[in-house]
């Protein structure tokens, strides 16, 4: 997967003489609509912005069943991890926001299947409301395997 920054097909380090912070956007996802990047990396760690149930073509899945939304969010997280040059096995911490804590068991089953034997630190947050009427949002921190492309 290729990282893109403002459609330029590359990534941009910033930070002057300090250790560089690199921001990346996945070519496999819709470009960020706000003032953020899909991923920021620094000192061998990838910080992944909150992923909502939005398909690569920009379709919002808020009206779909919870499991459909959750699978899309995990797929988006995979795209961000790949763009950063890492994988779900290298996740350090995951934060999950759900608008109905009753959906937590369903998410936990999908999440466990998605992760396999990996067990990163995790937090679950009940949210009154998420952007676009989504039922779930996930953000994460991962160790890098290699330099982002």
What's the pLDDT tens digit per position in 99-146?
999 999 999 999 999 999 999 999 999 999 999 999 999 999 999 976
Phi, psi of 75 (to 5 degrees): -65, -40
Q: How much is the pLDDT for 15? A: 55
- pLDDT band for position 147 (50/70/90)? low
Q: What is the pLDDT of residues 51-68, one digit of tens each?
A: 999 999 999 999 999 999
- The strand pairing partners of 143, in sequence order, are 45
Question: Taking the chain, what is the end-to-end CA distance rounded to the nearest angstrom?
Answer: 8
Distance CA 146, CA 34 (A): 27
Residues 103-107: contacts with CB under 8 Å, at least 24 apart:
103/66, 103/70, 103/135, 103/136, 106/66, 106/67, 106/70, 107/66, 107/70, 107/136
Phi-psi region of 69 (alpha: psi -120 to 50; beta: other; left: phi over 0): alpha
């Amino acid at each position: 997967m290729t990282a893109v920054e403002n459609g330029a097909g590359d990534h941009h380090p910033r930070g002057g003489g300090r250790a560089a912070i690199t921001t990346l956007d996945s070519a496999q996802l819709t470009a960020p609509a706000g003032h953020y990047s899909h991923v920021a990396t620094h000192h061998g760690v990838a910080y992944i912005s909150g992923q909502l149930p939005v398909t690569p073509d920009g379709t919002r899945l808020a009206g779909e069943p919870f499991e459909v939304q959750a699978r899309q969010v995990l797929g988006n997280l995979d795209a961000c991890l790949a763009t950063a040059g890492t994988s779900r096995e290298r996740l350090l911490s995951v934060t999950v926001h759900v608008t109905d804590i009753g959906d937590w068991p369903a998410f936990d089953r999908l999440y466990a299947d998605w992760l396999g034997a990996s067990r990163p630190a995790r937090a679950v947050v009940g949210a009154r409301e998420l952007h676009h009427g989504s039922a779930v949002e996930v953000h994460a921190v991962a160790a890098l395997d290699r330099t982002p492309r």
